[in-house]
Amino acid sequence: MNDIIIKNVKLNNFRIHENYEQDFDDNTTLILGENGCGKTSVLEAIYIALQGKSFRAVDREIIRKKAEFYRAEINYCNGEKVTVFYDGLKDKKQFLIKDKKTARLSKQNKYPIILFLPEDLHLVISSPTSKREYFDRLISQLDDKYSNSLSRYNKVLKQRNEILKQEYVDADTLFSWNILLARYGVEAREKRREIVARINEFLTETYRSIAKNDDMVEIKYKSYTGEILESEYLRLLAMDFERDKITGHTNFGIHKDDFEFIFNGFNADGNASRGETRSIILALKFIEANLIFETLGKKPVVLLDDVFSELDSVRQKSLVENFKNHQVILTSVKGVEL
């Protein structure tokens, strides 16, 4: 069965690549090279073309030194093509699809991706910020409404924080921003809760299939706002006005949420071994792929950035087995057995 989605990638002035081209003729493609040679940049370019934005930087940081633009072109096996062009002088990015230019990649032109980075293997013990970023990326692919709510929430939060830094500000000035923050915050919070519940339905079973034991695993969504409605959210934002004014930022909201991994009833951080935490993350990735297929009806392209070196042979085999029916593009500093 041919599961190849992407046929070819071409890059110009992208990171260290002045000109680069890579064909994908097999289900699994290994990009081999030493650290610093631009392997991850190829995955980043694919991610931008398929998802609309980078997973690690803003556009102006991606342009090769002394260049004025970057260009990334992805050719699909079905004959379609996506070209991303960023003009550094104008700070403007455009997508060219079917001879039409657009500033953003629309939902119908996005293609789902499973992105596996080395830092994901440390997700269990990472900061709340890192865990939010991980789950936000996951949920955004599953639900476009969530992506919109979160984007609007972050824009309102940024604007509100800028107002709080002004020398003179009163509570009335923030009222309209508080309304929007409460609305989008509740919308995003409920979707986070829903997706975590869906993941937990399969997490222990999937984990056991990898680890070959009877341990129990779940994710606990720790919402900073609890289960309050918009009206109460709005009231608590207003109550925090004096503290917010002193600190110069918004202290209450879903931007402080956390996701806790529970292992046999206890926090996995400090109770699960290194091998066990890696099995938890592998299980999460496999569930992510299944949720994407069930929700969107598409098999995601799997991008693995130098994660084989972090896994023992048992978990490497599990990774290969679970993604054998997907297109996999992986990077490594040394050869891997696929």
Q: What is the pLDDT of residues 17-69, one digit of tens each?
A: 999 999 998 899 999 988 889 999 999 999 999 999 999 999 999 999 999 99
What is d(CA 99, CA 104) in angstroms, rounded to the nearest whole number?
Answer: 15
Task: Output the CA angle 304-220-297, nearest 5 degrees.
Answer: 45
Q: What is the pTM of this model?
A: 0.90
- pLDDT over 70 at 2, yes or no: no
Report how far apart, in Å, the C-alpha atoms of 171 and of each of 228, 238, 243 are.
21, 7, 12
| Buried/exposed code over 35-50 (b: 16+ C-beta within 10 A; e: otherwise) | eeebbbbbbbbbbbbb
pLDDT in the model for residue 1? 47
CA dihedral 330, 334, 337, 338 (to 10 degrees): 10
Do 306 and 331 meet the contact criterion of CB atoms below 8 Å apart?
yes
Do 301 and 327 meet the contact criterion of CB atoms below 8 Å apart?
yes
Backbone angles phi, psi at 331, to 5 degrees: -115, 155
Domains defined for the chain, CATH in brackets: 1-111+301-338 (3.40.50.300), 122-297 (1.20.1050.90)
- pLDDT over 70 at 210, yes or no: yes
What is d(CA 238, CA 123) in angstroms, rounded to the nearest whole number?
Answer: 34
pLDDT in the model for residue 240? 95
* Residue of 191, 186, 209, 196 whose CA lies nearest to 131: 196
The overall average pLDDT reported for the chain is 94
The tokens for 338 are 């696929």
The DSSP call for residue 55 is S
Task: Output the CA angle 197-132-326, nearest 5 degrees.
Answer: 70
Instruction: For residues 207-230, give the mean pLDDT.
Output: 96
- pLDDT over 90 at 180, yes or no: yes
DSSP for 270-335 reads TTS-HHHHHHHHHHHHHHHHHHHHHHHSSPPEEEEES-GGGS-HHHHHHHHHHTTTS-EEEEESS-
pLDDT in tens, 323-337: 999 999 999 987 666
Amino acid 82 reads: V
What is d(CA 175, CA 241) in angstroms, rounded to the nearest whole number?
Answer: 10
